[in-house]
Structure 1
Amino acid sequence: MRQQFDVAERVRQVIGEAGCTQREFARRVVMDPSKLSRSLSGSRRFTVAELARIADAGNVDAGWLLGTTTDGAADGAVGGEAGGGAGRADGGAAGAPRPPAPTAPPDSGRPLQIVRETVRLIAERGFHAVRVADIAAACDTSTATIHYHFPGRAELLEAAVRWCMDEDTARRAARIAEADDAREELRQLIALQAPYTERQRQQWLVWMDLWAEAARSTAIGRLHADFYQQWRRTVAEVIRRGIEQGVFRAVDPQSSALRLTALIDGLAIQVLATGPGAGGTTAEAMDIACNAYVDTELTARRSGADAATARRSGTDASGPTADQPGP
């Protein structure tokens, strides 16, 4: 148990040297932030693969993190979970030397390179058609290196999906920063989900592989459920804010989020099923359809005077009002 806490202290030291938040460091090492937090508190052990990625991001020796070396020299292979097992010295974090400062930007680290290439290959070929050897070749490294950072295919798929989510979160924060209200936030969220760009198409293709794998794997199914809860919670929170602001009607945020995300998923599949210019559903059509749902099902009805003013200015998208019934 003592060594488990020593490992956590060394990881804290690496995070401190990295000069970023704990959440940002979790993104850099492609790790669930909650798992990192639990491991640092001692309620969960770091896996060796996680420590390998932490060592890579912090430019320190994995043996130093484990307490098996004190001078930064490599000490050979390690296995199993960190914090226990034969042959590991019980070196305390307090007496260990400070790790060297990173000499390269974190985004140039091997784990992120592996994940990016995994995303690209999954999007091009499908998860089951991608071999570890293919990823190694794309990264100009060995299969042993891939397994060192990500022991199995499930870990690679999880890392790929998590990276896509982190990318989406970063884009979302940038796009909605200037939104005037929750209705505009929701429009921006929809625009980010419509696969306009090649990067967005890649991420949707990874999601589709996650769905297929989740139907056959209990572990991946749990991952799928966790990610979808986060996504629906995000949409529900925006809807809830819109209700408080008066731009949305008094609907059930959770139910509305479920319907809207289901609409987004279904239309995205139609967009991806046909290539650009092939005559199928386009990203633009998906964007318009999802916004039409927001306008008809969520947007608060305006008074007759406000609606008339909006129609004259060409900005009304909320549908018929009480004073102006539809056909």
Structure 2
Amino acid sequence: MRVWRPAAGPDHPPVLKAACEVIADIGFENVSMRKVAEHAGVSKALLHYHFDTREKLFAEAMTHSFAQTGTDTEDGGDTVPATVVLARILRSMLPSDADLRQDWKLWQELWVRAQRDQTARHLAVDLYDQLHAWVGGAVERGIDSGEFTECDVAAVSTLVLALCDCLGIRLMLDDPRVDLATARSTIWRAIAPVLEIDPVFPEV
């Protein structure tokens, strides 16, 4: 389950993948259309044909990147317990592997740009809205199935996002006081009393 979809369509995902890799590696301020074209193995003219500006390329690369992660949270269909779905979402929202760490680098680039650029700010807010809806959908599913107790879904979603941001940053910094298991258990213990579920993060 992923609430967003790539904005660029099916014609050039390799280009967007290449853009994500270059931006994550050297930062948006150091990115040129030439560098992305070379990394993607296409001409600069072709890149400019699809993307008028670096800013448009950045926005579509961000959307593409996040559309590729967390796609397995509902493997198994409607029979998967909501607790499992929510745990899988939390796994995909923390920088636990190389792909997710790349996503986090892109988020960090977006946060910086959003302070100075209105288009980037709107993109960040939109992506957060979709993340909020993604978490909220899992919580609502659990309430409907009787796995979770009735609660303020929006408040739980906001809490999850806030904790993921805070702890995710510390993981990206390799803070010795926070490892992945600590981050997951901290978030789970914070929401468990609200949802009335086992406070131990499930190994799913």
- TM (norm. structure 1) is 0.55
Deviations 1:52-100 (A, max 9, x none): xx7xx3xxxxxxxxxxxxxxxxxxxxxxxxxxxxxxxxxxxxxxxxxxx
Alpha-carbon distance in 1 for matches of 2:119, 2:56: 10
| CA 154–280 in structure 1, closer or farther in 2 if over 3 Å, else same | farther
**Aligned match for 1:247, one of 120, 143, 147:** 147
Q: 1:194–1:284: 8 Å Cα contact kept in structure 2?
A: no
Q: 2:114–2:121: 8 Å Cα contact kept in structure 1?
A: yes
User: Match of 2:134?
Assistant: 234
User: Match of 1:270?
Assistant: 170
Counterpart check, 1:222 vs 2:122: yes
Alpha-carbon distance in 2 for matches of 1:165, 1:151: 22
Q: 1:179–1:185: 8 Å Cα contact kept in structure 2?
A: no
SS in 2 for 1:171: coil
User: Match of 1:293?
Assistant: 190
Alpha-carbon distance in 2 for matches of 1:173, 1:162: 20
Alpha-carbon distance in 1 for matches of 2:109, 2:25: 11
User: Match of 2:48?
Assistant: 147
Deviations 1:167-194 (A, max 9, x none): 12523343x6476421221111111222
User: Match of 2:160?
Assistant: 260
Q: What amino acid does structure 2 have at the position aligned with 1:317?
A: P
| CA 135–257 in structure 1, closer or farther in 2 if over 3 Å, else same | same
| CA 157–172 in structure 1, closer or farther in 2 if over 3 Å, else same | farther
Over the matched positions of the two proteins, sequence identity in percent amounts to 22
| CA 166–279 in structure 1, closer or farther in 2 if over 3 Å, else same | same
Q: What amino acid does structure 1 have at the position aligned with 2:8?
A: V
Q: 1:194–1:200: 8 Å Cα contact kept in structure 2?
A: yes
Q: CA deviation at 1:221?
A: 1.3
Q: What amino acid does structure 2 have at the position aligned with 1:222?
A: H
**Aligned match for 2:19, one of 96, 114, 118:** 118
Q: Which has the larger radius of gyration?
A: 1
Alpha-carbon distance in 2 for matches of 1:171, 1:179: 14
Aligned-residue RMSD, C-alpha: 2.3
User: Match of 1:172?
Assistant: 73
Please list every run of 5 or more consecutive structure 1 residues that lacks an aligned counterpart in the other structure: 1-25, 32-53, 58-110, 301-315, 319-327
SS in 2 for 1:248: coil
Alpha-carbon distance in 2 for matches of 1:251, 1:259: 13
- TM (norm. structure 2) is 0.85
Counterpart check, 1:156 vs 2:57: yes
**Aligned match for 1:186, one of 74, 86, 90:** 86
Alpha-carbon distance in 1 for matches of 2:28, 2:163: 24
Alpha-carbon distance in 1 for matches of 2:93, 2:99: 11
| CA 30–169 in structure 1, closer or farther in 2 if over 3 Å, else same | farther
Q: CA deviation at 1:222?
A: 1.3
The size of the alignment, in residue pairs, is: 196
Deviations 1:130-149 (A, max 9, x none): 12121122123332221111
Structure with bigger helix share is 2
